[in-house]
Structure 1
């Protein structure tokens, strides 16, 4: 019995009621559609975004490869402040030399750990054009980042859908206020005569 009463309270906008107006029914459908769009559209947007991001990271892992290189010049911090190990800034650009897959020797600037001296062996990452680039994300890091991007896309989509629904409801409220004003303009003078 109690559950039936709760369902009736939730579905009050669809029940027949002599005081219910057409705008009330429209608003009920707007609320339903907005929540469906948020649930279904947000989920699809999140899944598609996560899948696209994961495919992009997989393509990066496929295109980039690691090679052993030799540091040509000793690395030093770019600013006057010392760099602590383990910080995001413990890598610096240095000139390195490596042998390409065709056997030719190349020189370029790549990110290496801070503190390597000239002649040190390091690992650098190259893109498909044999140019130095950054290390691609690992499969687990890519999955985590793709999940974060998918979640952010779903939340953004849901926020836009919710804002559009609220804007539509605001317009309906404005229309109701105008309608109430017109009705009061017709009925108000009759009430004033009775009260005076």
Structure 2
């Protein structure tokens, strides 16, 4: 008895793939849909996460390539500058700095400096190819963290979306199958009742 039950449990998940008189075309379609959904859910989620992570990494790499550091000189005491009121640099102040561009011209702009810095002090600032001051690009460690976090966020979102779409399709197939059963029962039901009545 235990052997029969164990065999039944083993073969039941694959019954849609086996030839039997009770299997319908919709059962075969559903089996393929289930296989496709699980495949896309697992592999598609991983690939989507990897692609999103690579896109973020390439964006950060482009930002790093588009800027470089130069040595700038404060043209005023930092105590005379405006305080930074937001972001990670709260506690620093905005001061005017001067640096020499690649073409030899002198450029000026606003940069963040420690409040104790004095006129003539030097600091490293980031400029783009147009010799305009820009914020520092993310470091390699920060870029790696953002890449991993993006991949970890996108992968389950894509997998959940694919699984949800598969669930909706399977519900539609179930409704179709129930309609088929109702139609067949309307044909067979009267015959069954007549057979049962005649036997009685």
Is the structural similarity TM-score above 0.5?
yes
Q: Distance in 2 between matches of 1:98 and 1:3?
A: 80
Normalized per residue, which structure has more helix? Answer: 2
Q: Residues 145, 190 of structure 1: CA spacing in aligned structure 2 closer, same or farther, 3 A cutoff?
A: same
From the superposition, tell whether residues 69 and 116 of structure 1 become closer, same or farther in structure 2 (CA, over 3 Å).
Answer: farther
**In structure 2, distance between residues paired with 1:139 and 1:28:** 46
Secondary structure at the aligned position of 2:131 is classed as coil
Distance in 2, Cα, partners of 1:67 & 1:168: 59
For 1:51 and 1:3, locate their aligned partners in 2 and report how far apart those are by CA, in whole Å.
Answer: 47
| Distance in 2 between residues matched to 1:140 and 1:9, nearest whole Å | 50
Matches within 5 A, 1:25-174: 25-72=28-75, 74-77=80-83, 88=88, 90=90, 93-110=94-111, 112-113=112-113, 115=115, 119=119, 120-174=121-175
Which protein is bigger by CA-based radius of gyration? 2
Match of 2:25 in 1: 22
Q: Secondary structure, in 3 states, of the residue corresponding to 1:59?
A: helix
Q: Name the CA distance, whole Å, in 2 between partners of 1:4 and 1:63.
A: 65
Hey, what's the Cα distance between the residues in 2 that align with 1:184 and 1:92?
Answer: 82
- Quick one: distance in 2 between partners of 1:125 and 1:12? 65
Which consecutive unaligned segments of at least 5 residues does structure 2 have?
A: none
TM-score normalised by L of structure 2: 0.74
What CA RMSD, in Å, does the superposition of the two structures yield over aligned residues?
3.3
SS of 2:45 mapped into structure 1: helix
Q: Deviations over 1:83-117 (max 9, x none)?
A: 8xxx735266544332222222212234x256355
Q: How many residue pairs are counted as aligned between the two chains?
A: 188
Cα displacement (A) at 1:165: 1.0
> Is the Cα contact below 8 Å between 1:57 and 1:142 reproduced in 2?
yes
**In structure 2, C-alpha distance between the alignment counterparts of 1:14 and 1:142, rounded to whole Å:** 47
Deviations 1:133-182 (CA, angstroms, capped at 9, x unpaired): 11111112212211222233322322222122112112112212322333
C-alpha distance in 2 between matches for 1:45 and 1:12: 32
